[in-house]
Structure 1
């Protein structure tokens, strides 16, 4: 039972996180742009979603590589968004789930390989 939970938890969390990030793209419909501009803006806003979908596929098939890449994404976002200003807990809302999901993929990989060795 624990193995099934450990298998599905990071996958479900990554899918939910991808949906959460994609919701931020909805604001392009309320900016008053024309149809072509909305399509371009929507594509630009969905780039993080496309990256997360790719990471989901990668992590689903290769847990070790996916977990490492997801943790690297968490580190990248810390430096990319320049978190020198603001409160630490505000930034934890985005980075926290990324690090948790990456760690869960790595833990699942480790537990699965430990069981194979026995």
Structure 2
């Protein structure tokens, strides 16, 4: 039985991104040994989209109110891209200290982690 999912982000500054995610998510963290901090994710879902290009994977965080969330992140000194309306949701990007970007969006579609 599958009991969870483990996401790996590759970073040019792993220590900074680990600390950033710990503070951003505010969830439980564990030390897997040797400084490898692992943060719990909020409830998650997975979607499979068709592509004619090489298969790839993406990670998006979800929120209930993207405008309020991005305002809070900016107050905390976090760089956030402008919000765009994608139809299926309001999308932005959160810049990681290591140079990467995490997607962040307010979904307009049914969310699998919420009761039907």
TM-score computed with the length of structure 2 as normaliser: 0.31
Structure number with higher strand proportion: 2
Q: Rg larger in 1 or in 2?
A: 1
TM-score computed with the length of structure 1 as normaliser: 0.30
